[in-house]
Chains A and B, each alone.
Chain A
């Protein structure tokens, strides 16, 4: 039986308090780390667990921590990415609301591992309530001596603060986040140098997603081999799946990594809204390639989804039933990417603008076959030609919608209106 690790306490009203957290074994892992482990031992344990980042890219967490220099004189920074703005994703908000100290404890352990004495939680500006919850939790942690100077008499110092964003998807991208934290517009940086070498204030910086960090305390407490035993060994662990769109029971489901997508939709999600037929699923947040209804018998983990040409991403699963117009759905997304393109790279800034315009034309039934072709070309000209992956994130939906639902795009050509009369 799978035992929930991240969300078992979330529906309990007092679960936000440090007393509740301590009563249920909270901060044991941090104490274990402080009293009996070296930073390198923590990194080795996390490496051995095969924990992969939950923010979207799936990069091995321990490996990333290992990139931070061990003998330099600069300050190091641990940044918690609570920007949560990938459409279809709403898991970090749940963790912050229901188990803020778990997130903090993960950040503390990560800070210790990368020899950092400063940590910021970058939270999207709209999450006002959640920012207050985190601020309160941080204050409680200071009051109990888990933060501050000479923590629990071990000589380790750590300060933590909440930093609110102000409405920009791009600030979820790690270098955009760093620029934003520095008080500038969130324009991503060219890599290398990677943040682990040169990030915030030109100093070694690690950016980790909220859910990634929430996995860390249990890895320390129960060991890497326990973690690796949950789901596929190459990308194991408990996983939060976000289900939205046309399902009967949308929500966040904590399940073993690698749970079958069909099972998530039909069992956890209760099936398709109004018992309609399933048409399409975006499995990992709006930026990843879409799947047709006949492709959803697949394990939801990094490698299995990559094998069928899509991605786990942020595990934001958006479900669409038979009445959905795929052109209108893509138009909705391109409006998003055009609005959120930071404007720095021409292919992304201009390409998303063009794509949205062409999609308007197709959706209204006034396009020609050539326009549909042009849409694909525009996407090809964005992909891999930008500083950060926002460009790819806009191009991948276009390319995959065209590949999987091309007939539907062509059925709009010259009709003078949307054949489905869609109005998303």
Chain B
């Protein structure tokens, strides 16, 4: 599950709104460490991905060591250790989707975008990943783009969806 990290040369600090949100998160838990996942989600929304500097920032917020934050961050596939495209496309590859054409969907995306798994298009617009069961097997094949699910896909539907993304 380990991913490689890359550097991100910028000052890492939450916006005022994110600082407020962080305070709200802390209130929900009996200890600070329990706020790690929500804080990392928030950090990813703020900074796009979780660089080493972001981990350090989060560790200071939560009174943890950088090592502790890194240990948690690298375990979860949704935390990105490097930048992705503006639209991060995740194609479910697990059995129910595979039985209903997930491979065709994935290969179509590779050809159309000219990138392979883990890559970003040169214009930074799209990145492509295969992921495991998204919990939506009844409407296979399924693709998640950023936060949204697209279900019961065909190549035609997928093209239409991509063409409509700015």
Tell me the complex Cα distance, A151–B27, Å: 20
Chain B 27-47, CB within 8 Å of chain A: the 1/0 string? 010110111111011000000
Tell me, yes or no, whether A286 is within 8 Å of chain B by CB.
Answer: yes
State the total of A-B contacts with C-beta under 8 angstroms: 152
Contact B99 A320 (CB under 8 A): yes
Contact B71 A184 (CB under 8 A): yes
A255 CB → nearest B CB, Å = 15
Contact B103 A166 (CB under 8 A): no
Given A244-B137, A246-B99, verify A165-B132 contact (CB < 8 Å).
Answer: no
Tell me, yes or no, whether A204 is within 8 Å of chain B by CB.
Answer: no
Contact partners of B72 in chain A: CB under 8 A: 183-185
Contact B37 A329 (CB under 8 A): no
Interface stretch, picked from B5-13, B108-116, B138-146, B154-162, is: B138-146
The listed residue with most B CB atoms (<10 A of its CB), out of A167, A242, A329, is A167
Contact partners of A164 in chain B: CB under 8 A: 37-38, 41
B60 CB → nearest A CB, Å = 15
Tell me, yes or no, whether A85 is within 8 Å of chain B by CB.
Answer: yes
Give the total of A residues in contact with B, Cβ under 8 Å. Answer: 58
Give the total of B residues in contact with A, Cβ under 8 Å. Answer: 44
Tell me, yes or no, whether A230 is within 8 Å of chain B by CB.
Answer: no
Tell me, yes or no, whether B96 is within 8 Å of chain A by CB.
Answer: yes
Contact A166 B76 (CB under 8 A): yes
- Interface SS of chain B: mixed
Contact B34 A127 (CB under 8 A): no
Contact partners of A221 in chain B: CB under 8 A: none
Tell me, yes or no, whether A186 is within 8 Å of chain B by CB.
Answer: yes
Given A88-B96, A165-B37, A180-B37, verify A336-B133 contact (CB < 8 Å).
Answer: yes
Chain A 343-373, CB within 8 Å of chain B: the 1/0 string? 1000000000000000000000000000000
B74 CB → nearest A CB, Å = 8
Contact A166 B96 (CB under 8 A): no
Tell me, yes or no, whether B79 is within 8 Å of chain A by CB.
Answer: yes
Chain A 122-136, CB within 8 Å of chain B: the 1/0 string? 001111110000000
The listed residue with most A CB atoms (<10 A of its CB), out of B37, B68, B133, is B133
B94 CB → nearest A CB, Å = 5
Contact partners of B148 in chain A: CB under 8 A: 128-129
Contact partners of A167 in chain B: CB under 8 A: 76-79, 131
Q: Tell me the residues in window 63-86 of chain B with beta carbons closer than 8 Å to chain A beta carbons.
A: 64, 68, 71-72, 75-79
Chain B 111-151, CB within 8 Å of chain A: the 1/0 string? 00000000000000000000111111111100010011100
Tell me the complex Cα distance, A129–B100, Å: 24
Tell me, yes or no, whether A333 is within 8 Å of chain B by CB.
Answer: yes
Tell me the complex Cα distance, A286–B99, Å: 13
Q: List 13 A-B contacts (CB under 8 A).
A: A88-B95, A90-B138, A126-B144, A163-B38, A185-B72, A201-B34, A244-B138, A245-B99, A246-B99, A252-B138, A320-B99, A332-B93, A342-B1
Which 10 residue pairs spanning A and B have beta carbons closest together?
A: A183-B36, A166-B76, A167-B77, A185-B75, A167-B78, A244-B137, A244-B96, A183-B33, A128-B147, A87-B133
